Structure 1
Amino acid sequence: RAENVKEELTHVATEIRRLVVEEGYRYKEIQVLTRDLDCYENLLEPIFAEHEIPVYVDRDMAMDRHPLVEWIESLFAIHSYNYRYRDVLRFLRTELFMPMNQLATSEESLTDWLNQRNAWRRKVDITENVVLAYGYEGYYWSQEKDWEFIRYDFEAEEQEDVATMEEESNAIRQSLQRLLPSYFQAMISAKTGLEAATVFYHFLLQSGVATQLKMWRLQAIEAGQLETARNHEQTWDALMSLLDEYVTVYGESSFDFTTFQEIFVSGLEGLHYSKVPTAIDQVQVRAMDLTRPGAAKVTFAIGMTEEIFPQKIENKTLLSDEERQTINDTLTENQYLRGTTGRKIAQEPYVAYLVFSSARERLYLTYPSVKDTAQEVKPSPYFKNIQKDLNLPVFEKNETTIFDDETTSLAHISTYRTLIGELTRLKRQRKETQEGLLPFWLNMEKALMNQSIAPLAKQVFESLTHQNIPEKIDEVLAEPLYGKDIYTSVSRMESFYRCQYQYFSRYGLRLKERDVFGLSPAATGEFFHEALDQFFKLLIMNQRNLSELTDQEVNLLAEEVLNSILGDARFSVLTTSSRMNYIRYQLSQTIKKVSWALKRQSQRSGMTTVQTEVLFGQIAAKKGISGLELPLKNQGKIHVRGKIDRIDQLVTPESTYLGVIDYKSSHRKFNMTEAYYGLAMQMLTYLDVALMDAVQLVGQEAKPAGSLYLHVHNPTLSYEGKDDIEQQMLKKYQFDGLLMKDPDLLDHLDTSLQAKQSSLLFPIEESAKEQIKPGRRQEDKFVTEPELGALLSHNRNKFIEAGNQIIGGEVQLNPAYQGKERIACRYCPFRSVCDFDVMLKENNYHRIENLSKEEIMARLLNKDEEGATEDE
């Protein structure tokens, strides 16, 4: 009795190996019988291979999984569904379609063929990426015109070089276009079955199918995989036989393409490989029902549980046993229905007789205690009767433990490969129990390390001490990856503080997700930014004041902007389908609604827009106003680049104020905790740059007004809202972010504000005494000048801190976790790369402590005071 199915097979394999090595049996004199091959098949061959036991499983294997069957099915699907993406890629991924001009000739070596196949495979990989990214289906495959596409990097704001992608993907497209449309047309035009079969056969040759199967066969023979080689040969022969039979039956008949497809798909799916042993000396594994008396010297009957031996037989057919018997009584001698349940049950003792008499010298009966589920199973009644009547012992076979003696331990070992597994298990137990290994095992390990398999053993043993902790990169290697000077953006630095490994994967290793056809969030954001930028640029160019325009003029201006943008190649995806046309309509409606809101805001506020899409630093070949340039410990600098969506100006009798506006396609609020930990650096950086370059932007020094988010969306209004529609709309577009607690500024932000009212534009309100102040529960959004100075200084220090860690080669696996959100891992595409697992003790989240504004300011202002004291 074994602990489970795996242990049962392991001990059977160990005993077979012992019989051969110690008692002189041949593998061909041993057979393994089972009633449940489905349960054992996946484990049997790997375990026997580990014990170096040649095995032959006597079981029919269907052809439906062979690539040739996939090739035929996908070929027909391409025609039926007009070049769907999944059908075309399924067709190419079989690697049977390699046209004659792409293939090595039969005289060339297998190496030449492998090189050509690998080159073709690489082209298919690139083609799949292109098709995924651009949604090429239908006529894109059958047209003669080559694909032409652009690839735009929205972060770098430049087009990528796609010449190689175009060339290699078009090579695949051209191969299909040369053969498939003409083949389908010839099949449709065929008059008879013979004519269609001839077209199909020639297409098989032109596509390279016959040559590919031949080369696969040679490759399998060279690798010693004779059964695989025979399967390739049999599949081709089966297809040719089916084609011959089709011609015999339908050759002179009028051709029907649908019938042709059905015959070849179902015909090949229903076939099985004829199997013969690939060697003489092999252990035979077969079903119990197929054995015969004295078939082998030694028989192992495995899986002897009460569920299958005798087999539980139920009648699940439409007719009951009584009905079958009644019908059989009325039929003639040469007519009958299949046997009843009673007859099948009566055959079970005979099957048991075959099993028990199948061995001439030794019979082993085994069963697992647990099978499939955690529920314990019971042995077969035959097993119990034999054990009881003959007074035979039942041996318990379990996994090796660290406490087993030498004799018990030796029973688990048959080869050096199995020794690796046993030692690995014991070393793991030693780690958990803190117990030492027996000297016997230490001697075995020493002997193992003197064998040719030692490198594998060493690698496996090292896995026991492996920890999922990335190693720090040497500074000498970090510089070629990132450069001595770091040119970065705010979003990249935020990524670093979300998770250092995520930053390393994306910007160090330059890993990237495959683009999938559709409007990405980045493209949506770029669309909104471009539209609003052009909207304000037209106003400034025409010297028009937004507050003075009529609604009709605003709408016409928005239409002009949209017509310009929708013709831009960057947004060509919006014209590719009916669904995309609808998305284009929704985006256009959003811009019109935002334009409406911008007009109302300009009428109510003292803020006026002076610049849009202000570039700072250098993005691609474009250079803007001065960005942040901060010193690093390696004598280099970190150069921060970016683009400020909008800069507004407020002029009062006392001062000039500058504020930055950032457009967001999703609702966003300024979070002081995130800003403190480097997770939200954008608004502080933009304000810092605007103030630093105020003279260049507005011609004079300016005070800070704040950094604000504007949610760009098409809002849904409440049907039962108490406010009128205009008020509801303006509330949906209310600015949110960081504002200065400056009375002069607050008095001029919303000129429409009245006593005892809350502003519809900003998080402020006017008291009964006509004093403008932060709105209710909005205090955390307002800061004084010293507080803002501390925040900006801290923000710069976070850039320097990140830059120094990057050039120092820091690569920590430290995804940020805030509140109940896995903010770093939630949408991270690199989970399969880092293998972060919170169940591993070495993998921990970087938990973000939620701090109040007062706590943050206390920390920052105290730090500034300490720094000032040290300077003195």
Structure 2
Amino acid sequence: MVKLIIGRAGSGKTSAIINEIHDKGLSGDSGMILIVPEQFSHDTERELSRICGAGANLYSEVLSFSRLSNRVLSETGGFGIKPMDQGGRLLLMSVAVNSVRHLLKTYRSTKARSELLNGLLMAWDEFSAAGLKPVDIQRISEQVSDNGLSEKLWDMSMIFEAYLALMPKNMCDPFVRLELMAENLDRCTIFKNTVYIDGFTDFTYQQLQVIKSLMKTGTDVTFALTCDSVYTREEVFRLSRDTLTKLVRFAKESGHEIEITVLEQNRQMQSELRHLERNILCSDTEVFDGECEAIELYKAASLWEECELAASRVIGLVRDEKLRWRDIGVVVRDFQNYSSVLESVFSKYGVPVMNTGKSDILAKPVMTLITSALDIAAGGWEYDAVFRYLKTELTDIDREARDALENYVLKWNIRGGRMWMRNEPWTFHPRGFNYEFTEADTQLLDMLNEQRCRIAEPFKSFEKELKESSSASGKAKALYGFLVAADVPQILENKVRRLREKGEVQLAGEYLQLWDIIVTALEQFADVLGDMELTVFEFRRLFTLLLSQYQVGTIPMSLDRVSLGDMSKMRRRGLKCLIVLGATDDALPKLGGQRGLLSDVERDEISSGGMMLNDNSDTGLLREYNLIYSSLTLPSEKLIMSYPGGSRPSFILTEIENLFGIECGTVDETIKENAPQPCFELAVTGRKSAREYFSDNDEWSEKLESVTKAAETPRGKLSKEAAERLYSKQINLSASRVDKFHSCRFMYFMEYGLRAKPRQEAKFDAPAAGTFMHYILENVAKEAEKKGGFGKLTRVECSTLTKQYVSRYVDEQLGGFTDKSARFVYLFNRLAKTVEHIVADMASELSVSDFRPLDFELSFASDGDINRVQVTDGDITVNVNGKVDRVDGWVHDDKLYLRVVDYKTGKKSFNLSDVWYGMGLQMLIYLFALERHGTKRYGKEIIPAGVLYAPASDIMIQAPLGTDIEEIEKERAKKLVRKGLILSDPDVLNAMEHEKKPKYLPVKINKSGEVVGDSLCSAEQLGSLAKHIDGILLQMAKEMGDGSINADPYYRGPQDNACTYCRFYEACHFDESTGDKKRYIQKLKTSEVWERLRNGD
């Protein structure tokens, strides 16, 4: 007997089958099998248990076609042939593509990435579902008129033939497994009673062969199909009608009696939803007579607002209409685009959910550990791979040790297995160049070496085994051994235990599956590829490809949860409310010109030749109609649909509007009022009613007050106590810190208050390069003095001296170049060349000057060469410490005239206007400190003679090709001129440079023979400048003591302001509406600055 139960949605087809199973079970029958689609098996088993009780499994079972094949083949002898999972299929398809690449036309040069391979598998499944073999595909390629399609089909036939030929003997493709089952059904004894088949709209070629064979065995079969009648004309039921026709034909061919039962609507549901079921997607429709309350339509501003609407309505339904969480489902046709936002929003609204989708396994830390371990082994211990591996937190390296190790590796640019795997310890200083080792430094370095050895240990045998084993199975075995050696199974077990202790049962359930999935993947890899020879790089690529196909199922902590999922996967029975999001014209129905590697046009051309594919444009549309109909008829009490602004609504929404005389409503912020956290946001943003509610709520009032106070408080000040804790009453500064403070208070606070800074590589940055340069300059200058001064040295002798001290520095300070990278050596040698030019420039300048270098890198500190600069305001004291590059002196009338020289790279220049505003004070602070405290060091009265910036880089001249040498030298001479401020005393100027036409001093000789220039100043002017700088430091001491952290960047223009290159721009969030403001500073002429100083402005 073949029974066909047909009826519209909600007519009770499934209930009829389960009730029949129940009745037979009570009368003593057993061996009944209910076959349903794989994704519906869990819900069906639950419904079967609900109606039949706990003993249902004694006389019946729920199977899918694939699980049925396991049962049949286990009895008939084909169970030893294992079905290849999706990962194994993708892997084999990759090998197949590469094996026939030379024969291909369309895909010859296309890389075998997962997108192509998944597309090929989708096409193979599509052809297989239609019963087509590679030879059939090749024949079709010769018949189609489109040359592009012909070449594509030819390639597919070649690839699919290779795919089947390469299939291991003990494995098979899932479609082939169904064919094996169909061939062996007549020898199977499990079909002792009726077989029920429910939940299908149509069947694949292989499933139909199974059904045919089942009927031929004489087994009674009962089918349930969603269809309004045997002779239906409605397009939404056409697939079911065509399936019904096939089943009737099969039954007649096998000699079965046929019984067709048509069920009428018997499900309890709201009248609006019953009317919707009767009219949606139908040719003849009637307008609903009455007020529509069970259906709601919305247009949201965005996808996020749609999700907020859904969460808010769910809460309202549970609170006001006494629904349970499990009574509600939320579906989207393209769930992937909504999944993360939905979970985030529902969590924020406090709605418990069950995501019917599966999570991507490659996003799990243990998979990152595997792929990064393979990257380390294959790619040579690159920084990214090593710390991706460590940051999975699935190693035995704790976070603090890992961070210290990362800082060290970045600082010293450590790369490669030679450095990580060596037996000798790392010896670089943890803080960088030019530091003495303290006990703490030694302890830190010992700890870092210990951690390095722990990390490297499991890799030693892993890398060796990977290289020694050329086969795929050997490399899979090596990876398994590495994971065991790295204690991954135990680490995962510990992770599961900790998650359970924290109450995160669902996540613990996911982690519990991971080790089994890894082992399964390794077995698939070894079974599929066997003795195939692979390089380490190929192994890494293919195994990662394999892993990408596995997913982790989520297990809900309780059944009382809102179901979230794709519309194609949602079949929860007993749903009272369904919320459909993303109801746009491109999603409902979801039709694409390109699904996989074949377009709908190409599918139609293939089908036109008589080879009907299951998924051509016609059947694709019918499937979508059937899916929409099945989904919209799931709920019994409420249907809510929405779409995001910026998209066109689906015609389904328009059809519902016309059926019920309703319109899409809009969404406003009142949706936030249904949950505490979103409503609290309304209170914070000023909603009066929300503020009043939370102000009177003991649980939230303190939080509201705190957030409001924080929002209303300007950035401007720290408390005196906080300022003192950050800076102390003794504020130690450098001249560059003074400069930073006057550029922007907030910038100063971030860098020197919070000490925020990026990680730094150990390289010759400004401090390290400066130390090297001063070492060379000082030693060469001393040698020159011994020989009578630079005037007595030739250029060659000066160059030889410089190279001699560069070599000595490398040996004594750097310990040679043995452990240094090629890049480091290159950059250092380039710097050495620059220093050679600087020495030559200094020698040339001093050979025409009476000023002589007295000190290099002279320190200003309480225990330095010269006492530090100190300024006090009340109980706050500012100490300015630091160093100057060079101090030159000239003795005249028993007085020592001093000038401060600073070496600057780039375009740094002296600007008196900046000095007025508190910036660029460095050299002047130290010059005046020398005036006050220098006598103790030099033994004479000190007269400040000026400050000069000297170039500290190669002089590069840009000029057109063919420019005269004299012109180039003129331009070069301009760039050699120093910048700064010097005493206008003629004797001092002559002592600084003897030339009648100065080459180095920033002055000119006018027609009257007078020395002129903005860089000249009198002793009186220098004195007023010293007082001004003292005032700036006093004001700074006061502001720091008051806790000033205003975001007040100086601003001269779009390209000249404190924000342009600020490292803390993203932390600052500069906003003038909250009190932040730019300090617009006027560029003053030199004469204007002197005028202001004279007037005491």
TM-score w.r.t. structure 2 length?
Answer: 0.67
Does the CA contact (< 8 Å) of 1:50 and 1:418 recur in 2?
yes
Q: Distance in 2 between matches of 1:71 and 1:735?
A: 57
Q: Is the 8 A contact 1:525 1:665 kept in 2?
A: no
> What CA distance in whole angstroms lies between the structure 2 residues aligned with 1:487 and 1:412?
51
Deviation at 1:672, TM superposition (A): 0.8
Rounded to whole Å, the distance in 1 between the matches of 2:1022 and 2:625 is 90
Equivalence map 1:111-126=2 (5 Å): 120-126=398-404
Looking at structure 2, the residues matched to 823 and 572 of structure 1 have their Cα atoms a distance apart, in angstroms, of 42
**Which residue, out of 683, 686, 708, partners 1:423?**
683
Shift of 1:239: 0.8
Partner residue of 1:717 out of 936, 939, 957: 957
Q: Supply the AA of the counterpart residue of 1:11.
A: L
Corresponding residue of 2:372: 74
1:849 is aligned to 1082
Residue among 680, 699, 708 paired with 2:920: 680
Cα pair distance change 1:346/1:560, threshold 3 Å = same
Q: Which moved more, 1:497-506 or 1:244-253?
A: 244-253
Paired residues of 2:1051 and 2:1080 also in contact (CA < 8 A):
yes
Cα distance in 1 between the residues matched to 2:652 and 2:533: 61
For the residues of structure 1 that align with 2:424 and 2:819, how far apart are their CA atoms?
19
Question: Hey, what does 2:634 align to over in structure 1?
Answer: 358
* Aligned residue number for residue 668 of structure 1: 908
Which of 1020, 1025, 1047 lines up with 1:786 in the alignment?
1020
* Deviation by residue 1:773-804 (Cα, 9 ceiling, x = unmatched): 12xxxx32111121111001211232233234
Corresponding residue for 1:444?
693
CA distance in 2, matches of 1:348, 1:486: 73
Q: Which 10-residue stretch deviates more, 551-560 or 664-673? A: 664-673
Q: Which residue of 2 aligns with 1:796?
A: 1030
* 2:589 corresponds to 1:344: no
Distance in 2, matches of 1:862 and 1:799, equals 20
- Deviation at 1:565? 2.1
Question: In 2 relative to 1, CA 661–8 (structure 1 residues): closer, same or farther, beyond 3 Å?
Answer: closer
> Displacement of 1:254 after TM fit?
7.4
- The aligned runs of 1:251-650 (5 Å cut-off) are 257=536, 260-291=539-570, 296-315=575-594, 323-328=602-607, 337=613, 339-368=615-644, 370=645, 375=646, 377-392=647-662, 394-400=664-670, 413-427=673-687, 437=688, 444-445=693-694, 449-450=697-698, 452-462=699-709, 465-474=711-720, 478-479=723-724, 481-540=726-785, 542-569=786-813, 576-618=820-862, 623-634=864-875, 637-650=877-890
Query: Does the Cα contact within 8 Å between 1:529 and 1:663 map onto a contact in 2?
Result: no
Q: Which amino acid aligns with 1:389?
A: L
Superposed counterparts of 1:174-189, under 5 Å: 174-189=453-468
Q: Size of the alignment, in residue pairs?
A: 794
Specify whether residues 202 and 511 from structure 1 end up closer, same or farther in structure 2 by C-alpha distance, changes over 3 A only. Answer: same
- Describe the SS at the equivalent of 1:623: coil
Cα distance change, pair 26–649 in 1 and its aligned pair in 2 (3 A): closer
* Whole-Å separation in 1 of the counterparts to 2:323 and 2:1001: 90
Q: What amino acid is the match of 2:796?
A: Q
- Using a 3 Å threshold, how does the CA distance of structure 1 residues 196 and 724 change in structure 2: closer, same or farther? closer
Residue in 2 that maps onto 1:3? 300
Quote how far apart the aligned CAs of 1:658 are: 2.6
The answer (yes or no) to whether the contact 1:315–1:341 under 8 Å persists in 2 is no
Q: 1:337 to 1:527 in 2, by over 3 A?
A: farther
How far is 1:712 from its partner? 1.3
Looking at structure 2, the residues matched to 730 and 423 of structure 1 have their Cα atoms a distance apart, in angstroms, of 68
| 8 Å CA contact retained: 1:293, 1:354 | no
1:224 aligns with 2:506: no
User: 191, 197, 202: which is aligned to 2:481?
Assistant: 202
CA distance in structure 1 between the aligned counterparts of 2:860 and 2:661, rounded to whole angstroms: 91
The higher radius of gyration belongs to: 2
Judged with a 3 Å threshold, the aligned counterparts in structure 2 of structure 1 residues 223 and 455 are, in CA distance, closer, same or farther, namely farther
**Does the 8 Å contact 1:746/1:772 carry over to 2?**
no
Check whether the contact 2:789–2:847 (CA below 8 A) recurs between aligned residues: no
**For residue 782 of structure 1, what is the amino acid of its counterpart?**
L
* Partner secondary structure for residue 841 of structure 2: helix
Q: Per-residue CA shift, 1:448-493, capped at 9, x if unaligned?
A: x13x455544445545x3345153232x554554444444322222
Distance in 1 between residues matched to 2:308 and 2:967, nearest whole Å: 78
Unaligned runs of 5+ in 2: 1-297
2:993 to 750, 753, 762: 750
| Equivalent position of 1:52 in the other structure | 350
Task: Report Cα offsets for 1:503-557 as digits up to 9, x if no partner.
Answer: 33444444443222433233223322222122212223x2431011111111111
**Residues 573, 358 of structure 1: CA spacing in aligned structure 2 closer, same or farther, 3 A cutoff?**
farther
**CA RMSD across the alignment:** 3.3
8 A contact 2:872–2:1037 mirrored in 1: no
Q: Which amino acid aligns with 1:144?
A: N
Deviates more, 1:63-72 or 1:688-697: 688-697
Provide the C-alpha distance between the structure 2 equivalents of 1:47 and 1:146, rounded to a whole number of angstroms.
50
Is 1:166 paired with 2:445?
yes
Q: Work out the CA distance in 2 between the residues paired with 1:736 and 1:442.
A: 61
Q: Secondary structure at the match of 2:637?
A: strand
Q: Indicate conservation of the 8 Å contact 2:935/2:941, yes or no.
A: yes
Q: CA deviation at 1:666?
A: 2.7
Distance 1:654 1:215 in 2: 80
Counterpart in the other structure of 1:106:
none
Tell me how far apart the structure 2 counterparts of residues 726 and 383 of structure 1 sit (CA, whole Å). Answer: 79
Between stretches 416-425 and 299-308, larger displacement belongs to 416-425
Among 752, 762, 765, the residue aligned to 2:1004: 765
Distance 1:808 1:839, change over 3 A: closer
Q: Please state how far the C-alpha of 1:302 moved relative to its aligned partner.
A: 2.4
Contact 2:357/2:553 (8 A) holds in 1: no
Per-residue deviation, 1:728 = 4.8
Displacement, 1:662?
A: 1.4
- Which residue does the alignment assign to 2:129? none
Partner amino acid, structure 2, of 1:471: K
Conserved 8 A contact 2:684-2:691: no
CA 1:459 to 1:772, structure 2 compared with 1: closer, same or farther past 3 Å?
A: same
Q: 1:723 to 1:607 in 2, by over 3 A?
A: farther
Q: Which residue of 1 aligns with 2:976?
A: 733
Contact map agreement 2:316 2:674 (CA 8 A) in 1: yes
Is residue 126–residue 168 contact of structure 1 (8 Å, CA) maintained in 2? no
Q: Against the structure 1 CA distance between its residues 171 and 456, is the aligned structure 2 distance closer, same or farther, given a 3 Å change threshold?
A: farther
Distance across 2 between alignment mates of 1:702 and 1:725: 40
Q: Is the CA contact (8 Å cut-off) linking 1:490 and 1:641 kept in structure 2?
A: yes
Query: Gapped runs of 5+ residues in structure 1?
Result: 99-116, 401-410, 428-436, 865-872
C-alpha separation in 1, matches of 2:835 and 2:525: 62
The match for 1:806 among 1027, 1040, 1043 is 1040
In 1: Cα distance, 2:1015 partner to 2:1048 partner: 29
How has the CA–CA distance of structure 1 residues 365 and 567 changed in structure 2, closer, same or farther, with 3 Å as cutoff?
Answer: same
Distance 2:1066 2:594 in 1: 48
Conserved 8 A contact 2:979-2:1002: yes
| Larger CA deviation: 819-828 vs 521-530 | 819-828
The answer (yes or no) to whether the contact 2:911–2:920 under 8 Å persists in 1 is yes
State the Cα distance separating 1:327 from its structure 2 match.
Answer: 4.0
Contact 1:743 1:772 in 2 (8 A): no
Aligned AA (1:445): F
Once the two structures are superposed, what CA deviation does each residue of 1:632-653 show, in whole Å capped at 9, x if it has no partner?
A: 422x754433333222234568
The share of aligned pairs that are identical, in percent, is: 24
